[in-house]
Amino acid sequence: MKRQTKISNAVIKRLPRYRRYLRELQKKGIDKISSNEFSNLTGYTASQIRQDLNNFGGFGQQGYGYSVDGLYNEISVILGLDKEYKMVIVGAGNLGQAIANHTYYYKTGFIVCGIFEINPKLIGMKINDIEVMDYDSIVEFVEDNDIDIGIICTTKDAAQEVADKLCFAGVGGLWNFAPVDIETPHHVAVENMHISDSLHSLAYHMNKSQNQEEKK
Amino acid sequence: MKRQTKISNAVIKRLPRYRRYLRELQKKGIDKISSNEFSNLTGYTASQIRQDLNNFGGFGQQGYGYSVDGLYNEISVILGLDKEYKMVIVGAGNLGQAIANHTYYYKTGFIVCGIFEINPKLIGMKINDIEVMDYDSIVEFVEDNDIDIGIICTTKDAAQEVADKLCFAGVGGLWNFAPVDIETPHHVAVENMHISDSLHSLAYHMNKSQNQEEKK
């Protein structure tokens, strides 16, 4: 497969979405789809879809469309979802618990192996059969169990220190839910999930809608 | 203030981030910043920052830079964060609880007024002093209390029906955490928070980093 070297982050962000829709088509027993049909489904233009997929060598055949299974599998490989990832969660509050319980992750190769906490009241409890352990033991656990991803569900103030410790212990990626941008060495990937940013975008779009309504 | 009519979603997505950094500068007592300094802080290029802010008429003065307070306040107004939003949460599981507890929202004009649930075991409990109510009463509650935003923390299968009910009851925006894209009438804004999409992007970037490491 021919791949271009520079693929924009915007394209990468759309691939999980394409993949979700392809999964729905698979469930309905649909085995091929044109870029126009896929455009109607996903809300992206057909030309955008073709352009995005051409980044990875393109998968469609002229006059035939895309094979749903083929495209689903290729996107999965591109995203690295054909592999298994071992994860730890830091912070066993509601958010850490919500993520531990989100059974979706277990089905797709993302396995929560341990949850870590500094609050002694939470240490020892079990969330979805996963034990909440003392944060003091995290480096040893990550090293011994070859953990790939650290999920940060701590307060804003603790997040960078937790990130540093996880990087030191050898994780390859951090999924950060604390409301602060964390920094990592260049070889450690980060996704910052700023849920409040999303709420602020919503507020903008609500006001925009209202302004447009008023003008009518 | 002169505003362009078409502002891309990518720009809107960066504004909350700019605002977060400006808030940090305010806390440190810094009252002005050049676009170069702001670039170093946020990781966006100075030209990107200038271009983004020019969408809204621009706020900087040549040779002076940006007023931190001024820019913070202007971005807040643009995003609609100078107003107050009344919200309800649907789904009182871990995710709904995590959001209810996220005290941040109370500080910035986003107020959770009620939480709704179909599970009788959860109805009547209190989360952060907010009562969990029977989902059957949601339309009446939204109408009577002029609720602005509905937060969907249900399963994938229930999400669209909940969205329809909230739109019928008159909310202006939906913040959807269920792992499915929901549809709304054109006057109701939606932000879909697909947390698994973010995990899949992380997997991609981890593999990209590893591939680059191997090539060295």
> How far off is chain A from B77, nearest CA to CA, in Å?
9
Same domain as A190, residue A108: yes
Q: What was the pLDDT predicted at B114?
A: 94
Provide the mean pLDDT of chain B: 87
- Assembly ipTM: 0.84
Within a domain: A177 = yes
Token representation of residue B5: 């009519």
Q: Which domain holds residue B123?
A: 85-196
Overall number of domains in chain A: 2
Percent of chain B clearing pLDDT 90 (strictly above): 48
Subunit contact A197:B93, Cβ cutoff 8 A = no
Subunit contact B83:A198, Cβ cutoff 8 A = no
Subunit contact A98:B101, Cβ cutoff 8 A = no
Distance set, CA A204 to CA A184, A207, B11 (Å): 31, 5, 11
Arithmetic mean of pLDDT, B80-93? 93
- Comparison of pLDDT for B166 and A100, the residue scoring more: B166
Same domain as B191, residue B90: yes
CB-CB neighbors (< 8 A) of B149 in chain A: 202, 206
Residue positions counted in chain A: 216
Q: What was the pLDDT predicted at A212?
A: 55
Within a domain: B216 = no
Q: What is the pLDDT of residues B25-64, one digit of tens each?
A: 999 999 999 888 999 888 888 888 888 888 776 666 666 7
> How far off is chain B from A13, nearest CA to CA, in Å?
6
Same domain as A89, residue A180: yes
Which A residues, 84 through 103, put their C-beta within 8 Å of a C-beta on chain B?
A: 85, 93-95, 97-99, 101-102
CATH number at residue A54: 1.10.10.10
Same domain as B148, residue B103: yes
Same domain as B116, residue B23: no
Within a domain: A44 = yes
Q: What was the pLDDT predicted at B153?
A: 95
Within a domain: A43 = yes
Output b/e per residue, A89-123; b: 16+ Cβ within 10 A.
bbbbbbbbbbbbbbeebeebebebbbbbbeeeebb
Task: State which residues of chain A have pLDDT below 50.
Answer: 1-4, 215-216
Within a domain: A175 = yes
**Last residue of a domain, which of A58, A78, A98?**
A78
Same domain as A184, residue A108: yes
CB A191 within 8 A of CB A181: no
CB B154 within 8 A of CB B92: no
Q: What is the pLDDT of residues B127-143, one digit of tens each?
A: 888 899 999 999 999 99
Same domain as B92, residue B16: no
Same domain as B100, residue B185: yes
Within a domain: B209 = no
- B118's CB contacts (< 8 A; 6+ apart) are B134, B135
Distance between CA atoms of residues A125 and A120, nearest Å: 10
CB-CB neighbors (< 8 A) of A85 in chain B: 203, 206
Continuous segment of H or E residues that includes residue B86 = strand B85-90
Within a domain: B162 = yes
Which A residues, 38 through 57, put their C-beta within 8 Å of a C-beta on chain B?
A: 43
What does the DSSP 8-state code read for residue A137?
Answer: G
Best to test chain B binding among A177, A200, A207 (most B CBs inside 10 Å): A200
Same domain as A189, residue A135: yes
- Flag whether pLDDT at B4 surpasses 50: no
